Structure 1
Amino acid sequence: MIETVFRTDAVPVADRFDLWREVLTKTKAAAPAEISSDHADDYWAEIRLMRLGAARVWPAGMRPMRMCRTPRMIRQCDPEVYHLTYALRGTKGIVQAGREGTLTPQEMHIVDSSRPYEVHVLAPGRARAVGLEIPKRLLPLPLDRVDRLLTRRLSGRDGVGALLAGFLTRLTEDTGSYGPADGPRLETVLVDLVTAVLAHHLDHEAALPPETRQRNLALRVQAFIRQHLGDPELTPSAVAAAHHISVSYLHRLFRTQDTTVAAWIRRQRLERARRELADPAQRAVPVHRIAARWGFPHHAAFTRAFRATYGLPPSDYRHETLGASPAR
């Protein structure tokens, strides 16, 4: 996975907006567009470009601006991609295919590089969003059906939209954990989640390939487990019942993880407890309370599991990690 970073603060004031237009055009899969701003004399923007196989993800911040892609520009160059934006801060207006939409924080919308559009970043200050481009050929959905969703507001607060929003947020906040070889694998996850969001709004999930539906279900199951780690009654049977599937099918979903469902739950709980034991802000919290918070009601069982995983009892791990530093 390759990451490119650009900040207008790093170049002279007079060159900032021109360089921003050039970088933004290249970032957006080289789809030419007219870009202007009332703040061009002293423009601020920053962007990071992450390449996941054929897909691109780019978290960005910017001052208000306007962007217009004309029929002439489409004839000049069309990468044939869908562009999806997930808004984090500020408001964005979009016009395409005779429809208008407004994007507010925790919402998404999609536009088509093959059709003219206008975009207006309307935030009075600095807007922030995560943009992504996916080649149309990667989405297993009829293009005429996807056209129905152009400019439509898609929620990132709940359901499969929240899964995609969470994936984009974690991906862009934790880039140091990924290497170049992770790009194609992350592309598969990204395409599946985008497909699931679009299919959900099209009520078209039955037409998805079985492997895509299975991966989406596995992601939903994992998100459910993470949300309920503190429940000591979180068992494979409870997880399967919550998703209306059999326990045997649940185990098949986890075969690609090279672990069992119960072991995956235990490892997630241990990792959350380990993070809190290493947090100076949690230094005064007794070990048994941290264990109970993450689904280990029996302290002895937690100690055995922690030692087996990390090589030290939890109290010793906390002492070695925090040393003599005072609690905040």
Structure 2
Amino acid sequence: MIGTRIFIFPGDALRPLVAGKPRTGPATSPAAQILMAHTSMVQRTVSDLSPAGAHASRNALLELTKGLILDHFDDCEPAFTPALAQAAKDLADARLTDAELSPSAIAAQLHVSVRTLQRAFASLDESFSAYIRRRRLEEAAEALTASGLQLSISEAAALRHFTDSSHFIRALKKQYHATPAQLARRLT
């Protein structure tokens, strides 16, 4: 099946919840998205985890799995905040061209409050709004410098939902310390 993910977990930890029967559900549920974000994060960093980090990741994985089975997770649990932040990033990255992309839209999609989403990003170097803005600028810079594409600055700004070209140019200069033309020369 396309888009199917199968997770196998230690039976002892989850047996009371599943009664030995397989469980299925939509991969788009908030609990599933957060669980998948956590597993992807662990997969990318497993070789760098200390024994304590591996144990904490395992415990968070089990708790997130319980949340998936019960179709609810404790959004105030500090151990889940990295997974929640990653799930929000994944959703935002998939919707960068969406004019409706906002912290409140992503919070609603994950069934958490905007404040909970903000708390998840509090330990990171940027807010969720800043993450969206940075990613949109990265995508715009890539589109402006891609060979074969001849986007104007105003087209690139509009595609990434900046209010006008001058606002976009200022944001691009702040992030890349270059105008769009300088950036294109630098990256080509």
What is the alpha-carbon distance in structure 2 between the residues aligned to residue 221 and residue 228 of structure 1? 11
Q: Which residue of 1 aligns with 2:89?
A: 222
Distance 1:191 1:107, change over 3 A: farther
- In 2, are the aligned partners of 1:109 and 1:154 still within 8 Å (CA)? no
- In 1, are the aligned partners of 2:144 and 2:152 still within 8 Å (CA)? no
**1:313 paired to 2:183:** no
Greater per-residue strand proportion:
1
Distance 1:151 1:109, change over 3 A: farther
Pairs within 5 Å for 1:93-242 = 104-111=1-8, 136=10, 142-145=13-16, 148=19, 152=23, 157-159=27-29, 160-162=31-33, 181=48, 183=49, 192=60, 195-196=63-64, 198-203=65-70, 205-206=72-73, 210-232=77-99, 234-240=101-107
- In 1, are the aligned partners of 2:143 and 2:156 still within 8 Å (CA)? yes
Bigger Cα Rg: 1
Which blocks of at least 5 consecutive residues in structure 2 are unaligned?
Answer: none
Distance 1:240 1:264, change over 3 A: same
Distance 1:301 1:232, change over 3 A: farther
Greater per-residue helix proportion:
2
Pairs within 5 Å for 1:9-158 = 104-111=1-8, 136=10, 142-145=13-16, 148=19, 152=23, 157-158=27-28
Which blocks of at least 5 consecutive residues in structure 1 are unaligned?
Answer: 1-103, 113-135, 323-328
Shift of residue 111 of structure 1?
Answer: 4.2
Pairs within 5 Å for 1:269-284 = 269-281=136-148, 283-284=149-150
Say which structure, 1 or 2, has more relative contact order (CA 8 Å, 6+ apart). 2
- Could you list the structure 1 runs, at least 4 aligned residues long, displaced by more than 3 angstroms after superposition: 145-155, 160-172, 178-181, 183-195, 204-209, 212-217, 231-250
**1:253 paired to 2:120:** yes
Helix, strand or coil for the counterpart of 2:154? helix
- In 2, are the aligned partners of 1:240 and 1:246 still within 8 Å (CA)? yes
1:39-62 Cα shifts (integer Å, max 9, x gaps): xxxxxxxxxxxxxxxxxxxxxxxx
What is the alpha-carbon distance in structure 1 between the residues aligned to residue 165 and residue 150 of structure 2? 17
Shift of residue 300 of structure 1?
Answer: 0.9
- Percentage of pairs with the same residue: 21
